[in-house]
Chain A
Amino acid sequence: MKKMIITVVGKDTVGIIAKVCTYLSENEINILDISQTIVDGWFNMMMVADASSTRKSAGEVGDELKALGEGIGVQINCQSSEIFEQMHRI
């Protein structure tokens, strides 16, 4: 499995999750977990997704999500989950 971590941070607005999920679905990326909170109007979401089926690399998906985020005024990061596993697990 090619696990990706997608984080979305920014001012809350209508349709953030919808837009991200539509993009993931179009690219055959399966969502495994979503956790999300809103603090003082700031939207904060973390998604774990399986990108085994997509033909795009984590970097490409990251660039496209970043562009999508800019369109709706939020910052989206997409990274291979390995960096977090390596850093926070012995």
Chain B
Amino acid sequence: MISRNEVIETNKMIEHENLDVRTITMGISLLNCVHSDIDVLCDNIYKRITERAKDLVKTGEEIARDFGVPIVNKRISVTPIALVGGNACKSPADFVKIAETLDKAAEEVGVNFLGGYSALVSKGMTEADKNLILSIPEALANTKRICASVNVGSTKTGIDMDAVRLMGRVIKKTAEYTADEDSIGCAKLVVLCNAPDDNPFMAGAFHGVTEADEIINVGVSGPGVVKTAIEKVRGQNFEVLCETIKKTAFKITRVGQLVAQEASKRLGVPFGIIDLSLAPTPAVGDSVAEILEEIGLECVGAPGTTAALAMLNDQVKKGGVMASSYVGGLSGAFIPVSEDQGMIDAVNAGNLCIEKLEAMTCVCSVGLDMIAVAGDTPASTISGVIADEAAIGMVNQKTTAVRIIPVCGKKVGESVEFGGLLGSAPIMPVNKCSCEKFVSREGRIPAPIHSFKN
């Protein structure tokens, strides 16, 4: 029998510590929509999404009510569009048509984001991949709910530097196309290395070709719950601290597992994975930075930050894998600057710089996330930042990503307000030395020696 204390504990987590299920993401394969005529293709895509996901939002809301736990986002991921549109799209403008169709379908079913406007080019780009990438600025400017991602490298293939170079320019152009909205297009565009096929979190979600027709993936959350739990063991040794984080992660993940199974049952769609990531929001008390500070740092960015984060990330995984048999996606602590009040404060106080964030990405998911930089940052510098992150991912056999926003017309010292879950971001300084000649080299960085395991 469940005791009253256990009930009170759970409800306290939900009411006061921001425990929620961050997203139910329905992966939908669009491979069977492929057609050589762009209009037929768009029609097929619209029909497939609106038919398969018509009950997603309603079901999510019902589950939230039945269990009394908020499910913040209901989202969709689709097969990378570069593959789906390869046959029909002869130009970037053709791809934009697909983006607009996806946006319409997302609006119709009521999801707030749809991911998968993507190209996987870790070793090279096809003509279709290139056209899709070139269409991203216009596609993101013309749509509200579409998220784009490009995978430019992997441990197995190395890094496609031609794609990295191109992405620097595409990010700049995306910023310019959405200049009147503080370059918000870039907040929906992520460049990945070792991108997982089953990630439920935006902006990097897509439904990989290794997946079935449809799948339900769930992303849990709960930085506030972890922080409150470790407040009770302040000053105690690492064993106690780790044990506390593990137990809390177990509880959080169990909620996600329950919601995922229930969603799978009610929608008649197989359950895929739970993503264990600790995902912060701009809400007070829902911050990964605050956990690190509770662990013992005066401010995130202080020496010891990387070690504390590594430990946190590892304990979250250890607790989480016990709670669910299928764990996947990104599964780690997210450190998006604009979406985490503690990170914003640390940047504003001058305690956290891009270089320290880069070090932190070596030990957690996912990468340099939601970082605003000055609008005059050269494209080659952005490519350099992407290459650095991709190298960390490639060598460490982990997912890394860059979601950087060169905000048009803004300079270091100013800040930018995106609103909602995307939060607000101070403009961060970037190293001014040029990497133009490095980035201009053509071709690929070869796969690292430890990728040859056969």
B255's partner among A5, A60, A77, A83 (CB-CB below 8 A) is A83
Contact residues of B: prevailing secondary structure: helix
Q: Which of B9, B62, B251, B254 has the most CB of A within 10 A?
A: B254
Given A83-B258, A87-B251, A59:B4 Cβ within 8 A: no
Does A46 lie within 8 Å of B7, measured CB to CB?
yes
Q: Is the CB of A7 within 8 A of B11?
A: yes
A58 to B62, CA, bound (A): 9
> Are A35 and B69 in contact, with the CB atoms below 8 A?
no
Q: Is B68's CB under 8 angstroms from A79's CB? A: yes
Scan residues 1-36 of chain B and give those whose CB is less than 8 A from a CB of chain A. Answer: 1-2, 4, 6-11
Residues in chain A near residue B66, CB distance under 8 A? 57-59, 62, 79-80
Interface residues of B in 124-154 (CB under 8 A from A): none
B65 beta carbon closer than 8 Å to chain A: yes
Tell me the minimal C-beta distance from B65 to chain A in angstroms: 3
Chain B residues closer than 8 Å to A70, beta-carbon distance: none
Which residue of A is nearest B69, CB measured? A83
A88 touching B251 in the complex, CB below 8 Å, given contacts A7-B11, A48-B1, A83-B10: yes
B2 pairs with A86, CB closer than 8 A: no
Q: Please tell me if the beta carbons of B67 and A82 are within 8 angstroms of each other in the complex.
A: yes
Chain B residues whose C-beta falls within 8 Å of the C-beta of A87 in the assembled complex? 6, 10, 251, 254-255
Per-position contact with A for B322-352: 1 when CB-CB < 8 Å, else 0?
Answer: 1000000000000000000000000000000
Contact with A along B245-273 (1 / 0, CB 8 A): 00000010011011000000000000000
Complex-state Cα separation, A87 to B11, whole angstroms: 11
The answer to the question of A33 belonging to the interface, with a C-beta cut-off of 8 Å to chain B, is: yes
Q: Given A5-B7, A86-B257, verify A79-B251 contact (CB < 8 Å).
A: no
B67 touches A83 (CB 8 A): yes
| Complex contacts, A30 vs chain B, CB 8 Å | none
A62 near B65 with CB under 8 A, answer yes
In the docked arrangement, what's the CA distance between A47 and B287, Å? Answer: 34
Chain B residues, CB < 8 A from A85 = 2
Which residues of chain A (52-90) have a CB below 8 Å from chain B? 57-60, 62-63, 77-88, 90
A35 touches B4 (CB 8 A): yes
- Inter-subunit contact B2/A88 (CB<8 Å): yes
Give min CB distance, A68 to chain B, whole Å: 16
A5, B65: Cβ atoms under 8 Å? no
Using C-beta atoms within 8 Å of the partner chain, give the interface range for chain A: 20 to 34
Cβ contacts B68-79/A at 8 Å (1 or 0 each): 110000000000
Q: Contacts A57-B62, A83-B258, A88-B251 known; A46 to B69 CB distance under 8 Å?
A: no
From B64, which residue of chain A is reached at the shortest CB distance?
A59
Contacts of A81 in B (CB 8 A): 2
In chain A, positions 20-46 with a C-beta closer than 8 Å to chain B are: 33, 35, 44, 46
> In the complex, what residues of A have CB within 8 A of residue B4's CB?
35, 44, 46
Q: Given A33-B1, A62-B68, A78-B68, is A7 in contact with B258 using a C-beta cutoff of 8 Å?
A: no
Q: Could you say which of A48, A62, A84 contacts B6, with CB atoms under 8 Å apart?
A: A84
- The residue in A5, A63, A82, A83 that gathers the most chain B C-beta atoms within 10 A of its C-beta is A83
Contacts of A58 in B (CB 8 A): 65-67
Closest residue on chain A to residue B258 by CB atoms: A86
Residues of B with C-beta under 8 A to A88? 2, 6, 9-10, 251
A84-B6 Cα distance, complex, nearest whole Å: 7
Measured in the bound complex, the distance between the Cα atoms of B257 and A46 in whole Å is 25
Least CB separation from A88: chain B residue: B6
- Whether B2 contacts A84 by the Cβ 8 Å rule is yes
Contact with B along A1-23 (1 / 0, CB 8 A): 00001010000000000000000
Interface core residue of A44, A77, A78, A79 (most chain B CB under 10 Å): A79
Q: Report the bound CA distance from A77 to B67 in whole Å.
A: 10
A63 surroundings in chain B (CB, below 8 A) = 65
Restricting to B50-95, which residues have a CB under 8 Å from any CB of A? 62, 65-69
A90 to chain B, nearest CB (A): 8
The answer to whether A82 touches B258, judged by C-beta atoms less than 8 angstroms apart, is: yes
CA distance A60 to B68 in the complex (A): 11
Interchain CA distance A88-B193 in the complex, whole Å: 37
Partner of A79, one of B67, B257, B322: B67
Starting from the known contacts A44-B4, A57-B62, 6 additional A-B residue pairs (CB-CB under 8 Å) come to A46-B4, A57-B66, A58-B66, A63-B65, A84-B6, A88-B2
> Could you write out 25 A-B pairs with CB less than 8 Å apart?
A5-B7, A7-B7, A7-B8, A46-B4, A48-B1, A57-B65, A58-B66, A58-B67, A59-B62, A63-B65, A78-B68, A80-B66, A82-B258, A83-B10, A83-B258, A84-B6, A86-B255, A86-B257, A86-B258, A87-B6, A87-B10, A87-B251, A87-B255, A88-B6, A88-B10
Q: Which 3 A-B pairs have the closest CB atoms?
A: A59-B65, A79-B68, A58-B66
Q: Which B residues are within 8 Å of any A CB, using their own CB?
A: 1-2, 4, 6-11, 62, 65-69, 251, 254-255, 257-258, 322
